[in-house]
Structure 1
């Protein structure tokens, strides 16, 4: 499950490069003021010689010093990745930005003695009127006119723009992983860890497209448990949720390669898509699932059964709406005729 905003740096809680892009891309063209790129110097040495925890302390000290020194509520700062930060100071000229930088360095020196800060100032709109150009100018200025705090070795070379961009690429890679995690979370039912109804609907559409392209049939099974109300009333909702999870695992265990089982709209409803499966074969598969559930649930607090409605493409239609309607009506028929059956 995603536990953090991918546009926020988890170590400092500052907006990261994605936050910068999200917030500033449209604003930067009309931005007037200064941008200051800060480089936390010697972080690799600190990590190697003193440990990563001390390095993390230096990063956090830089972040807090930046935040606390911002001249007004319109100014903002971002962590670009690695040991780089950028501050955007609207309506602030170079002289006032220099005062800001000295305040940042003073606060950082009080918080951290293991490293130092390097900074460079870029004036807008003199030098850049787009975010990409701003970053390039800022990175270039680090190598030419950067100023350091007293604790920084003046002989230590400033990072090349290529190195800074490489770090941004690394951040991008990390953020992509978070985006993928967010996507997976958005398509996963948290209780059963099966695909949720949104994911099943998307897969359903792909099955329909595959049929339209190749004529491959498929079957739809709408499975509804018969005993959730009894679980909730006699054993409590927590036990009812455990039953739903067990039911989902049993159904999923019957899937073949290419099939999909997901949690559907309500309670203990599940929707199954059976690839390359005509309706008659889909009904046999549904019967097998029903028998497996009856057999395996004998040891549960209350044994359960399921009612299953079957629809086939193309036998019952060739689009999402028609197939879902057929499966729902078949499931209702199974319930009406006594439950624990396939229709």
Structure 2
């Protein structure tokens, strides 16, 4: 049996959409890509079986209520670690497998193996290892219901593998059997299987669609985290660069102006030195929220490179109006910050498209220079490039 396929990771597709953010395992997109590769290898190597195994934690919703969502996430990671360790331990000439998280409480395994008995032994060991887990606050043990199907012995395509594992996972749940598959003696009637697949087609599609939707939600949450500054909860530098490119394209297409402001606080070092970094972060949060509240509704506000720097992009805003807006913001911060441990001021640099540049690099360079000018000329002022 070839060992090349078993080592395949999720890099066949963009890793940004193929990794489960909670466990670090491949997700359903990685599974589908890898299954295609696995089917090709199984067809090229007579005698090799490719199994898709689907396993679900029993009563996970009740477990989450019992121990809380945060602890339930830790339990999921514990189950993932246990399953992964067993697969790694069993990896060898006659059995090679890879683990994926494909749903809230579901994992999938792609396993190359030589016999159905090897697969059944593996599933039994996986279930027993998870059952041996004890978890703080959890009354009882963690159990799994599991289904499987093999290519080419009982499934002739990836679609068949997916359909069979979904169908037999339902049978495992309904019957109380911990493992169900088309190869079981009670399910080997081909006509029976065909009728079962036909009758349950809608349920299979709905189940698979739900997994994809759950994965999409996880990806959306991961993207939000990647583009959000943890201190201010505003968009971060990565988000700002992306938005600047989009707003600049729009300004060029519509032949309108685009105003940029870089707001740089003048007092962060004093906060950090006198009160510590936590107080400094509190001030940064306060400043970010006030900037967000005062910025025009159609503008974009983000925390910039570091410290107490913030970017504001205002579309279709004449330069004179931008100067007035910046000075109004400066005055507001100076007045309202009297409530803070140390009142603060800000220095603001302004640059605009098309006057100061037609590319993101040119505009960012211009706004940095304008802010340095405001700092050099005594701080607490507005300077246009």
Q: How does the TM-score come out when normalised to structure 1?
A: 0.76
CA distance in 1, matches of 2:344, 2:144: 66
- What are the superposed Cα offsets for residues 203-228 of structure 1, whole Å, 9 maximum, x if unpaired? 11122111111112121111111111
Counterpart for residue 173 of structure 1: 213
Alignment of 1:117-266 (within 5 A): 119-124=147-152, 127-128=155-156, 131-136=158-163, 138=165, 160-266=200-306
8 Å contact from structure 1 (residues 119, 142) kept in 2: yes
Question: 311-320 vs 250-259, which deviates more?
Answer: 311-320
8 Å contact from structure 1 (residues 307, 339) kept in 2: yes
CA distance in 2, matches of 1:308, 1:110: 61
State the shift of 1:123 in Å.
3.4
CA distance in 1, matches of 2:230, 2:345: 23
Over the aligned positions, Cα root-mean-square deviation in angstroms equals: 4.4
8 Å contact from structure 2 (residues 19, 30) kept in 1: yes
Decide whether aligned partners of structure 1 residues 55 and 134 sit closer, same or farther in structure 2, where only a CA change above 3 A counts: farther
1:330 aligns with 2:370: yes
Counterpart for residue 32 of structure 2: 21
Counterpart for residue 308 of structure 1: 348
Decide whether aligned partners of structure 1 residues 29 and 285 sit closer, same or farther in structure 2, where only a CA change above 3 A counts: same
8 Å contact from structure 2 (residues 54, 166) kept in 1: no
CA distance in 1, matches of 2:284, 2:346: 12
Q: SS in structure 1 opposite 2:350?
A: strand
Counterpart for residue 90 of structure 2: 72
8 Å contact from structure 2 (residues 299, 312) kept in 1: yes
Question: 289-298 vs 270-279, which deviates more?
Answer: 270-279
- Structure 1 residue runs of 5 or longer lacking an equivalent are none
1:33 aligns with 2:43: no
State the shift of 1:119 in Å.
4.3
8 Å contact from structure 1 (residues 9, 15) kept in 2: no
Q: SS in structure 1 opposite 2:382?
A: coil
Q: SS in structure 1 opposite 2:347?
A: strand
1:299 aligns with 2:361: no
State the shift of 1:263 in Å.
0.8
Decide whether aligned partners of structure 1 residues 27 and 307 sit closer, same or farther in structure 2, where only a CA change above 3 A counts: same
CA distance in 2, matches of 1:52, 1:161: 28
State the shift of 1:63 in Å.
8.5
Q: SS in structure 2 opposite 1:221?
A: strand
CA distance in 2, matches of 1:67, 1:328: 49
8 Å contact from structure 1 (residues 316, 323) kept in 2: yes
8 Å contact from structure 1 (residues 279, 313) kept in 2: no
Q: SS in structure 1 opposite 2:305?
A: coil
Structure number with greater CO (CA < 8 Å, separation at least 6) is: 1
State the shift of 1:341 in Å.
0.6
- What are the superposed Cα offsets for residues 10-64 of structure 1, whole Å, 9 maximum, x if unpaired? 6x998653452365443442143241545779x7xx79xxx8349999x98x989
Decide whether aligned partners of structure 1 residues 290 and 55 sit closer, same or farther in structure 2, where only a CA change above 3 A counts: closer
Q: How does the TM-score come out when normalised to structure 2?
A: 0.68
State the shift of 1:286 in Å.
0.3
CA distance in 1, matches of 2:125, 2:339: 69
Q: SS in structure 1 opposite 2:341?
A: coil
Counterpart for residue 316 of structure 2: 276
8 Å contact from structure 1 (residues 101, 119) kept in 2: no
Question: 134-143 vs 170-179, which deviates more?
Answer: 134-143
Alignment of 1:103-114 (within 5 A): none
